[in-house]
Chain A
Amino acid sequence: MRTIAMILAGGEGTRLTVLSEDRAKPAVPFAGKFRIIDFTLSNCVNSGIYTAAVLTQYRPHSLNDHIGIGKPWDLDRSRGGVRLLQPYQARRGQNWYAGTADAIYQNLDFIRQNRADNVVILSGDHIYKMDYRPMIEYHIAKGADLTIGVMPVPLEQTDRFGIMQVDEDSRIVQFFEKPKDRDKGNLASMGIYVFNANVLERRLSEGRPEKPRNDFGKDIIPAMINAADRVYAYRFEGYWVDVGTIDSYWTTSLELLQPNPALDLYTDQWPVHTKSEERPPAKVGPQAKVVSSMVSNGCVIRGVVINSVLSPGVYVSPGAVVENSVVMNDAWIGPGARLDKVVVDKKAVIGAGALVGIGDEKVVNEQMPDRLFMGVTVIGKSAIIPDGARIGRNVLINSRRDEGDFPADKIVGDGKTI
């Protein structure tokens, strides 16, 4: 049995605001030195799947740089390995990918060429450690056409997921994509699919212009259940999270700092591979204080860091205090600056004495009240916060803003956007 993986990495991830403005969501940095897609790619190779395609569409540059020829995952292979599949033009006038299923449909050639028996379809923007082998064995043992990875979710979140009902054999009898009503049960799709390759090709090809089959959750899965295909649910017990919003990104990051976090990055049983930058060890100065934090190679810390995650190359000046924050690659925190509940993107500069994350957490962001409401302030890539600025909570500073974009008194109130 030949199994290949197709990883969907084209999503825009708008709810991550500036973090996914210049890069696709799977390329967003996570846990210091990783990027979100590392988890899925590492799951593949740790599960013995060495042929993987990554389907890109939105802002793929970071992703292309990161994956390259797949060296960190040992996917630089002569047979199989990793392929980046970009949207393309063809004589039949194909277009941008209209959805998850359409993206796979436009790359059916790749599946055929690899003579796959089973196709594992994955999302590049989830954080979890999973061995796909038991799921594939289950798929084969059930004689399934499609097996969907599922887990129970809290009832109040069911409107964010595909929810299904199963019989006593775990065969799916009904499927609801993001149901508004809360009475459909709480068994949610994780967006992890094992397809029989022939059935996948047949069902994808049945789309008609008036009734397209663009999306797995909306179109393909309901159609397969209607057609009495063998569609099964596979229960996954373990840590799995979709960091869709700034708030969940921030919460998930800080959860890593607990003494025994649900996501253990320190075992050699299931290594998460990434493109490691060549940096010297982190340097903690004699006057520095660092507690309950993760600090990556190349960081230099001369101030105070509490309950925070620091990516490679972050510099914390003497007298600066970084608390409850996520700071990405090569950001510079000036002397005496204070950060509380802030997500700082790459290469941002926080001026001397600037106070970021002060004020009332309850004042939600004016432009994005549904995305920034937990009190987290976000500083975009390469933004420069002027010396002595005072910046409130739920504030969004867009990428590459500098002194000239700030008001003269350098005060940015809660919920504002620059």
Chain B
Amino acid sequence: MASVFAMIMAGGSSEQLSVLTEMRAEPAVPFGGKFRLIDFPLSNCVNSGIYNIAVLTQYKPRSLNDHIGIGKPWDLDRATGGVRLLQPYRGGPYGDWQQGTADAVRRNLDFVLQQAEAHVLILAGDHIYLMDYQPMLRQHEQSGADLTVAVRRVNSHETHRYGIVTVGSDDRIIDFREKPRRSQETLASMGIYVFRKEVLAEILEDGDYIDFGKHVLPAILKQQRHVRAYAFPGYWADVGTVQAYWEANMSLLSEEPALNLYDPDWVVHTKSEERAPAKLGVHAQVGGSLLANGCRVEGTAERSVLSPGVFVAEGAIVRDSVILYDAVIEAGAIVDRCIVDKNVVIGAGAHVGEGDDNTPNATLPEVLNTGLTLIGENSVVPEGLVLGRNVVVHPRSEAKAFGKKKKIASGTDVGANLR
């Protein structure tokens, strides 16, 4: 077995997730009811037998620190190895904040070189997939590559979202283009890299590369080094946009979801909160939904994902929505195609996500144009208020932020952006 340690990139601010990342780093965004995004790469590591892991943080890391702690849920509270959170720091040759993924690793080169393992596995903290890294590591070692990149096939009209590789004979990567508008090639990098450690150090010491995809990969190819592709056939989702995040949650609701969270041989570990089982009332109507422990449903929940502690009062309707921790949907309220962040209160009789007016959001038109309305954490939507589509309510907005209006039109922003 290859000797490898993992570095998980968890510092990004990811504006495209709107209110979900206003108060927390992207990898700490809740997913699938009780999980957080970083649970997937962390669990993949321990399930693949990798027990030495560093998590690199920068943007609003408090949720992430709380969540990972000393790594108990992943059995990473160990005497050797375990999980380490690497924060940005002052001093040393580089100083200042990290500019990107490669820069973040460069600023922790001392740490990288101190590790006993010969290879470095670089992972993103915001991808959802179940993957055994061992076959990829075996291929990396047997081929003697300097770098192995995990790739998967994507639709030809999606190539503009990914880094696209061109593969020569025996899986060698000969070309790489970042987010090409048009491309004959459809093999996309998954942002999963295995480096030979001394090669990684050499490259990062040499230049001032900022990003692995944009800068390091082209540079290493230019140096004519040995770079290989490893094809991964399974489910993989980059939930970097609100729409992708919502779709990935909804895909869990299908009868046989591509992402199997119920596999006893590949458990996704998380910091489980201590909550009683979900409780459904006499008049509850729940269909096609996920209910985490601690939920109480007296009303209706259709095709929705409910995190721990969510309360849906009698007569309230939740449809096609993702509701995060301890949100309260009061009596008679309707929540339709929404992402409701934690501790939000939707007042009685309020209607969130109403009508056919699909005016894109004024501040994020490229991201928020599919009709999803977002309510930031700890906000209170007043009783009886109607909110249209593509509306963003920033965290901690209370009655005052909504003004005296009875209806908030589609595409509006409410409250102050706390990013």
Contacts and interface: CB of A to CB of B under 8 A. Distances in A.
Interface of A: 31-34, 71-72, 257, 259, 265-266, 271-274, 276, 278, 280-298, 300, 309-311
Binding site of A, secondary structure by majority: helix, strand, loop or mixed? loop
A326 B352 CA distance: 37
Contacts of B294: 266
B320 to A, nearest CB: 13
13 contacts: A71-B72, A266-B279, A266-B296, A272-B274, A276-B272, A284-B288, A284-B289, A288-B286, A291-B284, A295-B280, A296-B278, A297-B292, A298-B262
A289 to B, nearest CB: 8
A300 B262 contact: yes
Cβ-closest 3 pairs across A and B? A281-B33, A32-B277, A265-B276
Contacts of A294: 276-280
Interface residues on B, range: 35 or more
Residue among A31, A285, A287 with most chain B CB within 10 A = A285
Contacts of B269: 278
B277 A281 contact: no
Most chain A beta carbons < 10 A, residue from B33, B35, B279? B279
Contact of B290 (A33, A71, A265, A281): A281
Contacts of B267: 278
Interface in B264-285: 267-270, 272, 274, 276-285
B291 interface: yes
A277 B283 CA distance: 29
Contacts of A292: 280-282, 284
Contact of B287 (A32, A286, A296, A309): A286
B284 A290 contact: yes
Contact of A286 (B280, B284, B288): B288
Contacts of B274: 72, 271-274, 276
A23 B171 CA distance: 56
Contact of B280 (A71, A291, A296, A311): A291
Contacts of A34: 276
B97 to A, nearest CB: 36
B34 interface: yes
Contacts of B305: 281
Contacts of B253: 283
Nearest to B262: A280
Contacts of A310: 277
Contacts of B72: 71
A243 to B, nearest CB: 17
Given A291-B281, A291-B284, A284 B276 contact: no
Interface of B: 32-35, 72-73, 253, 255, 261-262, 267-270, 272, 274, 276-294, 296, 303, 305-306
Contact of A281 (B255, B281, B288, B306): B306
Q: Classify the interface of chain B: helix, strand, loop or mixed.
A: loop
A295 B279 CA distance: 6
B289 A295 contact: no
B76 to A, nearest CB: 14
Nearest to A301: B286
B216 to A, nearest CB: 35
A33 B293 contact: yes
A285 B255 contact: yes
A297 B284 contact: no
A300 B262 CA distance: 9
Contact of A280 (B34, B255, B282, B306): B34
A280 B32 contact: yes
A230 B303 CA distance: 63
A33 B277 contact: yes
Which of A72, A271, A291 counts the most chain B CB atoms within 10 A? A291
A188 to B, nearest CB: 28
A287 B277 contact: no
Contacts of A271: 274
Contact of A297 (B280, B281, B293): B293
Contacts of A284: 286-291
A178 B402 CA distance: 65
A298 B293 CA distance: 10
A259 B298 CA distance: 9
Contacts of A300: 262
B128 to A, nearest CB: 13
Contacts of A297: 34, 277, 292-293
A276 B273 CA distance: 9
A274 B276 CA distance: 10
B282 A281 contact: no
A285 B288 contact: yes
Contacts of A71: 72
A298 B291 CA distance: 10
Contacts of B303: 286
A295 B277 contact: yes
Contacts of A282: 277-278, 290-292
Contacts of B268: 278, 280
B326 to A, nearest CB: 10
Contacts of A280: 32-35, 261-262, 268, 290
Contacts of A283: 253, 289-291
